[in-house]
Amino acid sequence: MPSNAEISRALETVVTLMEIRGDEHYRVLAYQRAAESVAAAGSPVSDLDDPKELPHVGETTAEVIRDLVADETPDILDELMAEIPRGLVEVTRLPGVGPRTAGRLWKELDATSVEEVAALDASDISSLKGFGKKSAEKIVASAEKYNSEERRLLIHTATALGGKLLDFVRNHPATEKAGLAGSLRRGKETIGDLDIVAASGDAKSLADDFAEAEFVTDVVAHGETKVSIVVDGPDGDVDVDLRIVAPEAYGSLLHHFTGSQAHNIVLRERAVKMDTNISEYGLAKAGEDEREYIPAETEAEIYEKLGLAYIPPELREDAGELEAAEEGELPRLVEVGDVRGDLHVHTNYSDGKGTIESMAEAAIELGYEYLVFCDHSQSLRVANGLSPERLSEKMVEVRKVDEKYGEIHLLCGSEVDILKDGSLDYEDSLLEELDFVVASIHTSFQIGEEAMTDRILRAMNNEHVRTIAHPTGRVLNRREPYEVNVSRLIKEAAATNTALELNSYPDRLDLSAPYVREAIKAGVHITIDTDAHDESALSFMKYGVTQARRAWAGKGNVVNCLPWGEFEEFLKSGK
Ligand code: DGT
Ligand code: CA
Ligand code: CA
Ligand code: ZN
């Protein structure tokens, strides 16, 4: 049965498509109001006898809602989708282009996709009624930028695809050892191409079979020790490189193709000072030729020979790791197993799919000691944000369900919207009753850097706000961060004893690792949260932990690595 949030989103899609088509305002408004009514409804719309019981829902929109509840595509949506070129929805995502503008670019200039908008002359657009020269130039420029942006794989996609290909290599009879290398092994938030390394005594048979595997859509290069192929990813072509060496040189190969290139360069420079050459074949005394290289079977040997502690892949970015490894000052990095709870998850009270029970049981499976439910607040109606009354009801229910489970402590919090002026979406008296408050921004993104920074600083100064969720609002491959001065946020977080979130959702990973590192240096604690909207998303924690590792974080920097007793103390003692 579709949730209210899903029904509301479908109605919003109708609104967008009608606007692209140029329908009359009053007709569009009916769907807009219905979408809002569904989002604001206190109980599942699918339980109603008649959707017309909802405010602002008349016979036409009620019919559409009935179809949606029955999981059928409403006629109006079929009709709109048949009529409107698919690429136009993407056009509406360009900054400064709403659905009505997208519709006019289509009807008056025949542009039906971002590519085609990028190919327009700004003067064609400004010749249309109602467009200025500046806004026309902005539209073309943002379409050009949108296109030229290299689409990189999200870590979740790369991990799944990389895992599948690695399984093939590992299961091949000629393979002795194999692993993922490159940016995926370093845990970068997005991945350009996949790199796999393997050790084998019969490289040719592995190379030949890999090049002919069923997942290959194109072979770019096929040698005895190197194969480059293309596979079909969820969003298009993905390049994959496989390199094969004899088992005794596996460490050298793995190290070389893990990179980063910048790390390899500074390591090579250090080796040269020690009269040593380093390459993908191994180490050699300066002046010797390639055949004299002594291969390394493990990466640890390489660092050891160069007088360094082992450097974990996440730190190999030429960001001070060599100095720290030399001084024995590398941090002990946080691990997934250090995490004791998740402080920001949703339920079907707002826009989540799970219930309090189902999310609790999934958290118990992960061995957590505590779980904090943070549904959306009242003004975020598209996400079915909770009215104060529903939040109070939910508090009662969380406490009741908590009694049922001895294995875990269930807490009731909220993801409270930070309104445009920096005030919060609930009264202080209500926030005070909650166990934990996450504050974040979901609306009014374009208010300028100074206003946005001040807005978040004001929220940090509320005594109940314990962490700021996804502090820059970026959505990878889709939305730039809003303009905000992160260094000022970090300073104020330190001054007000507010934590900053590292959101583990694969398309957020926000704060990004360099900022998390800056925050840690300033003494700010971070919360690594999944923002899960269903049970399976609780497993995204690993992606947040990987980014925290890239930020040199130890478990002492992470609030939700505290064991329950200390976390309880953290809650009680306030800011
Ligand atoms: P990506 O694929 O853009 O996300 O980033 P990486 O780091 O996986 O880069 P990639 O796939 O070009 O190369 C994998 C590793 O190979 C890289 O981290 C360092 C190593 N490497 C060795 N020689 C070179 C070289 O000449 N150029 C580059 N780019 N990498 C090299
Ligand atoms: Ca790569
Ligand atoms: Ca590569
Ligand atoms: Zn959230």
Does residue 228 line the site of ligand 1, with CB under 6 A?
no
Q: Ligand 1 in contact with 482 (CB < 6 A)? A: no
Same domain? 455 vs 353: yes
Answer whether 233 contacts ligand 1 (Cβ < 6 A).
no
| Whether residues 222 and 271 fall in one domain | no
Co-location of 83 and 199 in the same domain: no
pLDDT, position 149: 56
Atom 29 of ligand 1 has which residue's CA nearest to it?
261
Tokens of 522: 């300033």
* Distance of CA 436 from the midpoint of ligand 4 (Å): 13
Indicate which residue's Cα is closest to atom 9 of ligand 1: 182
Question: 210, 244, 202, 245: which is closest to 229 by C-alpha?
Answer: 210
User: 120 and 173 in one domain?
Assistant: no
Torsion, Cα of 243, 246, 251, 254 (10° steps): 0
Out of 327, 358, 384, pick the residue that ends a domain: 327
By the 10 Å C-beta count (0-12 exposed, 13-18 middle, 19+ buried), 339 is classed as buried
Please tell me whether residues 116 and 63 are part of one structural domain.
yes
Q: Any idea which ligand is nearest the CA of 155?
A: 1
Ligand 1 atom nearest 259 alpha carbon: 18
Please, what is the end-to-end C-alpha distance for the chain in angstroms?
42
Question: Among 144, 169, 185, which residue terminates a domain?
Answer: 144
Same domain? 297 vs 266: yes
- Are 321 and 340 part of one and the same domain? no
Q: Is 187 in the pocket of ligand 1 (CB under 6 A)?
A: no
Q: What is residue 290's predicted lDDT score, i.e. its pLDDT?
A: 64
Judgement on whether residues 127 and 158 belong to the same structural domain of the protein: no
Question: Are 133 and 238 found together in one domain?
Answer: no
Taking the chain (575 residues) in consecutive chunks of 10 residues, what is each chunk's mean pLDDT? 87 94 93 91 89 93 95 93 89 85 95 92 92 90 73 92 98 98 97 97 97 95 95 86 96 97 95 90 80 89 96 97 97 98 97 96 98 96 92 97 97 98 98 98 93 98 98 89 96 98 97 98 98 97 98 98 98 95
In the prediction, which pLDDT does 147 show?
61
Task: Looking at the CA of 153, name the nearest ligand.
Answer: 1
Q: Which atom of ligand 1 is nearest to the CA of 280?
A: 22
**Final residue of a structural domain among 220, 245, 270:** 245
295 residue type, one letter: P
Residue 183 near ligand 1, beta carbon < 6 Å: yes
- Are residue 115 and residue 76 in the same domain, yes or no? yes
Domain that holds residue 258: 250-327
Q: Measured between alpha carbons, how far is residue 407 from residues 174, 361, 363, 404 in Å? A: 46, 10, 10, 9
Domain match, 219 and 117 both: no
Residues 373 and 409 in one domain: yes
